[in-house]
Amino acid sequence: MEKKRVALKIAYNGAAFYGFAPQIDVQTVVGSLVEVLASLGIEALILAAGRTDRGVHATGQIVSFEVPVFWDLSRLKALLNQKLYPHIYVKWIWHVDEGFHPRFDALMREYRYIFTPRLKNIFLSDFISKERVGDIKKLHQALSLFIGEHNFEFFCKTGSDAKSNIRRIYNIRFYSYGILNETVFVVNFLGNGFLYSQIRLIMGAVLAYSRGDINLLDIQNQLELKERSYAIPVSPNGLYLSKVFYEQGKLLGGL
């Protein structure tokens, strides 16, 4: 049967899944997608821009797979959203070239970490991390160390299939935001790619410095692979894969 390749931009509630990648006997994002597609008569190998850990969310994950050519994309999107509700939502769908790969064609990725020292609304606890926060000026100071190209071997967990630990972070933006009468802090990381738990370990070290648990030289030495001073990641529930960037024209005519 003749097929065409489609790409989806999806959002999902990571609290409902044991991570993105398929696993045996537990619910994952890919497992749910495969199950729903199978119910529509579509057997698909799903490619993705990145794999998120258990509890990590996405507002801009990109996935792609093949479908029979007779599928109307607007109808496919509507049926997927009906069947994937309430934990996964298809925001956009595109027809893409057969060679499109959401991971290898990506130029940059943006992750967002949302946290607060005092979370009054328990119904937000799956989506905002409650963390001990110290001096905000120190947070800014420490985050700036990570901008640029570095070997992040001491800021990633083992188990990554990455061929290199070298990554470039183009920009880090830190600001406060109001959500349902809660004031939270947000850190946006924009980079060419991120390693397994890299952002959670960076945030753990940065927050530790803000509290005075470690000093700035400890972070600098760890970044330069001299000594691992802090290796406790922050909670995953505040982390979001928010956007994936591609060459202009890669994703056109979305529905």
- Between CA 254 and CA 120 the distance in angstroms is 39
Does the active-site annotation cover 218? Answer: no
- Between CA 7 and CA 47 the distance in angstroms is 9
* Residue 124 identity (one-letter amino acid): L
Q: Give the Cα-Cα-Cα angle 193, 198, 204 (nearest 5 degrees).
A: 145
DSSP code per residue over 196-244: TTHHHHHHHHHHHHHHTSS-HHHHHHHHTTS------PPPGGGEEEEEE
Helix 136-144 and helix 198-211, axial crossing angle in degrees, nearest 10:
140
* Residue 189 identity (one-letter amino acid): F
- Between CA 232 and CA 240 the distance in angstroms is 19
- The residue annotated as part of the active site, out of 53, 126, 135, 218, is 53
20 CB neighbour count, 10 Å cutoff: 25
Nearest to 2 by CA among 60, 68, 51, 62: 68
Q: Which residues are catalytic?
A: 53
